[in-house]
Chains A and B, each alone.
Chain A
Amino acid sequence: MTARSQKHEMLFFALRNTKLRVGVSILLFFILLTIIGPQLTPYEPNDFVTSGAFPPSSEFWLGTTTFGEDVFTQVVYGLRATFIVGIVGGGLGMLIGLLIGFTAGYWGGIVDETLNMLTNIILVIPTLAVLLIIAAYLKVRGILTESLFIGFTCWPWVARAVRAQTFSLRVRDFVDMARISGMKSYKIIFSEIAPNMMSYLLLVFILQFGGAILTAATLDFIGLGPTNTISLGLMMNMAVLWSALILGSWWWFIPPGLAITAIVGALYITNVGLDEVFNPKLREM
């Protein structure tokens, strides 16, 4: 089968895969909301727009917080933080993981032993605990700092997966050919090995993206998130801290959590759908 017809076939399966369609639709909805949301609201996330907690109404679509902030505005701006953490944190974790995974898998031997050991160590340490300590010592924390820290701690999964894949590709004929023809190692990795695991890397990235969002939400909720901007986790933190539970202000804590669950759930379901598209064995008849 030619590469072109293979691409056509993949597109065909991608378009008729229900999981993929549902997942991508939900993601697109939230991305759109993140982009045009700020235009839909006249307020800033921390503006006091009214005099206390009110349930959803035509004026305040998702109600207001105890302080009289607009929940919809906070969610829309919080989504931005969520996507930034996902892309920067997940992306950085991906890059580090790729670097370590390729290096370990391609060179093998002592390099691999060392890197593998490192990966296993970081894998065992509960990363959230490390992040807690670091965040607790930083006075001012931005969304980018948070993303960087998450990126630096979430790479071991990627490294493991990439290493295993590289191992299996490294002994294939076309890689041998490239090596015999005197191609440089990094060039072999990027022009011969990486393209052959593109679909796999996409799946891994999606999982990283979701994982980074969940980690950030936990950090924010504990109160160690960004200090200078709103986020969905921070909203939940404020809601619990200021007794939204006891006051019954459900509109304060349900939307942020629901948004996170929907985004991460959509990512997971997209991932399964893509897996079925890439992997003919899993396709439904």
Chain B
Amino acid sequence: MSLQVENLTVYYQTLRGEVHSLEHANFNLGDGEIMGLAGESGCGKTTLGNSLIYLAPPMKFIEGQVALDGEELPVWDIERMNEFRFKKISIIPQYAMNAMNPTRKIGKMISELLQSRKINYKELLSVIKERLDKVKLPHDVLNMYPIELSGGMKQRIVMVLSTLLNPSLLIADEITSALDVSTQKSVAEMIVKFRDCGCMKSVIFITHDVSILYQIADSIMIMYAGQLSEKASKETIIHSPLHPYTKLLISSLPKVGVKHSEKKLTGIPGTPPLLLNPPVGCRFRDRCPLAFEKCLETPPFVEIEQGHFLACWKEGAPYA
């Protein structure tokens, strides 16, 4: 098991009160697993990603444990997490195209960053070059300023940099959202290629676009309104999902490989609940065609089959 998350609960502090954006998340990630994390925007998937690597205000740690390669991650402690960041756990952020210091040459920035982490740049230079080849960038980019590169090139540099120290876990946060369909595919393939050659062990691939996960994910986890709904292998999620929300989400995608904007998902009647004062019980209750009295209690996220986790009273009942 590469990553074990137990009961992780993280709130957002706002002036109006605490937003319950992630509650009681329980899941595991196997070595070499690429897990797609999907859901509507605002469902807490980015909160989940961020809380694993950089849990800073206004995010507030409530409870939970996270272990990476059997070692506990002090996610609630900004300072102590520094030891793990970059080396053990890394992220390609949503804003990867603006992630480089505009007034430093790429190579200089990387060297200063490595130096600040007490790592020798010169020794790693050959690795950097080798990885640049992998993402089809000339070695010249190291002598360039970010302004001289296209958005896609900058994103690929971030991909190289984030995975440079062969972290156990890489979080890829909406890295395909701003791209056109053909580029999306090549970026997704690069992630797979990096995993295959050991640049990182496992990946959480956050996206609101389920179709891209068909191409690269080993498993898919679906979130709804701050709660985990279902996690299973890609095939199971696509062909035989159990959670009513997953079913609606999958059925709203007509065909594999077609990009869907978030608006399509509103094809499910109703809107997600506000997480400031979330309703008790299953948060999908109000929109769920199968809801019954039991749904006033929060359903546990339990393994109903090998590798298939589900949080639903109705669909989970036969397996209980």
Contacts and interface: CB of A to CB of B under 8 A. Distances in A.
A and B associate: yes
Which of B13, B15, B57, B58 has most chain A Cβ within 10 Å?
B15
A179 interface: no
A285 B13 CA distance: 9
Contacts of A283: 15
5 contacts: A283-B15, A285-B13, A285-B15, A285-B57, A285-B58
Main secondary structure of the interface of A (DSSP, over half): loop
B274 to A, nearest CB: 12
Interface of B: 13, 15, 57-58
B287 to A, nearest CB: 22
Interface in A258-285: 283, 285
A283 B16 CA distance: 13
Contacts of B15: 283, 285
A208 to B, nearest CB: 31
Contacts of B13: 285
A104 to B, nearest CB: 26
A285 B58 CA distance: 9
A283 B58 CA distance: 12
Interface of A: 283, 285
Contacts of A285: 13, 15, 57-58
A285 B59 CA distance: 12
B138 to A, nearest CB: 35
A14 to B, nearest CB: 14
A285 B17 CA distance: 11
Contacts of B58: 285
A8 to B, nearest CB: 12
Nearest to A284: B15
Nearest to A13: B15
A160 to B, nearest CB: 23
The list of the 3 closest CB pairs from A to B, nearest first, reads A285-B13, A285-B58, A285-B15
Nearest to B58: A285
A283 B13 CA distance: 13
B171 to A, nearest CB: 25
A283 B15 CA distance: 10
Contacts of B57: 285
A256 B20 CA distance: 55
A283 B57 CA distance: 14
A284 to B, nearest CB: 10
A282 to B, nearest CB: 13
B261 to A, nearest CB: 17
A234 to B, nearest CB: 48
B16 to A, nearest CB: 9
A156 B293 CA distance: 67
Nearest to B57: A285
A72 B13 CA distance: 51
A267 B13 CA distance: 32
B293 to A, nearest CB: 34
Nearest to B14: A285
B53 to A, nearest CB: 22
A26 B205 CA distance: 55
Nearest to A12: B15
A283 to B, nearest CB: 7
A12 B230 CA distance: 42
A5 to B, nearest CB: 11
Nearest to B16: A9
Nearest to B13: A285
